[in-house]
Amino acid sequence: MRSMSQRERPLALLDPQQLAPLWEVLAEHGLVLASIVNVASLPPEIWLAETTSRQQGALLLLGHGGRLFWEQYRRDAALNIADPVDNYSATVSERALRQYLPAFSYERLFPLTDCPVNLMALGRVLGWHTPSPLGMGINARYGLWSAYRALWWLDAELATVSDETGHPVAYPPIAVSANASAAPDICGQCATQACIAACPAQAVAAAALPNLQRCADYRLTAQSACAETCLARMACPVMPAQRYTAAQMAYHYDLTRSQIHLFSSRAAADKRSGHVSAAAQTMDAGASTPEANYD
Ligand code: B12
Ligand code: SF4
Ligand code: SF4
């Protein structure tokens, strides 16, 4: 981990082409999406907070796709630890950094209660996915079945920073494209748009952001068909083999359902007392549980 004094020293040059063994070991743990990019080449909208990490250095973004991560995690992790998926992601990625980049210092930005980066915006910039009616990105290789697992800041300067059009180059080039502007618009070319008709709450619409309130209200109803799943996500015909298993689905959707329940109970209590808490205005998931694996 880095210290304040380490932040001041000049950055060492890192050749991304030498990272093949790092990508390999991460992929073995199911972290099959991995990109590294210089901070200086990123647009300001990816940042949610002022932080020294946005001045210089590089960001290493890791994500899982499909089922492999879940299988590895179930095999390796002690399930009785707090925030197991986040802890597992942080532990295996830090171990890999120590082993393959011992000369660099680094700082974890996610999982973290106050992650200073808008992960979905960063993923878009790096070409990981294109927009879908569900709001989450869709990836050519993993469909709707990917999520961010870890984000690390490194005191490194990458040898190459951007392509000829000025877009940051992601290493290694990933399934969709290394360049967001060149990624295929999967949902724009989808003939069925089955996700829209499949949503029982009419929360999903073409060319619009999903209505998260409708989704949340429906998920809390006693007869909800989306207590442990998302019918719209399951209906997507892209890469069906990557769909989460029933246990994986139930884990994540149980977690978000209880967060939504907590949020709405607090809001109702505030309404009764005439007091509006910060948690009622925006659900402070971090305050109630640091686990951020809402996948
Ligand atoms: C808090 C949070 C939630 C909260 C949001 C509550 C609230 N209104 O405050 C809850 C628990 C409800 C939630 C739910 C889900 N989330 Co969420 N969530 C986060 C988290 C940890 C922080 C977002 C945040 O507060 N950003 C800071 C604010 C300032 O930025 P913002 O843009 O205003 O943030 C809002 C949106 O991000 C929105 N939101 C949160 N999650 C999602 C997911 C989707 C698909 C959309 C459209 C919007 C959305 O809620 C935020 C607050 O209003 C991020 C991880 C991260 N650190 O980015 C994951 C994250 C955004 N969630 C994700 C996912 C997948 C989901 C779920 C599909 C999980 C599930 N299986 O149910 C659902 C879908 C939402 C829905 N349809 O209702 C993924 C998206 C991955 C992707 N492939 O693009 C992320 C990136 C987590 C990850 N590890 O990858 N989430
Ligand atoms: S069903 Fe079609 S429009 Fe909906 S998420 Fe899948 S590819 Fe996109
Ligand atoms: S969880 Fe259910 S209500 Fe929410 S978007 Fe998916 S299908 Fe619609």
Contact 172, 159 (CB under 8 A): no
Which parts of the chain have pLDDT scores under 70?
1-10, 78-80, 160-163, 167-183, 275-292
pLDDT at 9: 58
Q: Is the CB of 193 under 6 A from ligand 2?
A: yes
Give the ligand 3 atom nearest the CA of 214.
3
Pocket test for ligand 3, best of 213, 226, 229 (most atoms within 8 A of CB): 226
In whole angstroms, give the CA distance from residue 200 to residue 209: 16
Tell me how far the alpha carbon of residue 229 lies from the centroid of ligand 3, in angstroms: 8
Here the tokens at position 65 are 């796709």
pLDDT tens across 184-196, in order?
Answer: 789 999 999 999 9
Contact 159, 16 (CB under 8 A): yes
Minimal-distance CA residue to ligand 3 atom 1: 230
CA 155-139-209 angle, to 5 degrees, is 100
Minimal-distance CA residue to ligand 1 atom 34: 118
pLDDT at 79: 57
pLDDT at 51: 79
Alpha-carbon distances, residue 107 vs 36, 41, 250, 272, 288 (angstroms): 14, 19, 31, 43, 24
Q: Is the CB of 199 under 6 A from ligand 3?
A: yes
Give the ligand 3 atom nearest the CA of 253.
1
Domain boundaries, the chain: 4-182, 189-288
pLDDT at 277: 56
pLDDT at 253: 94
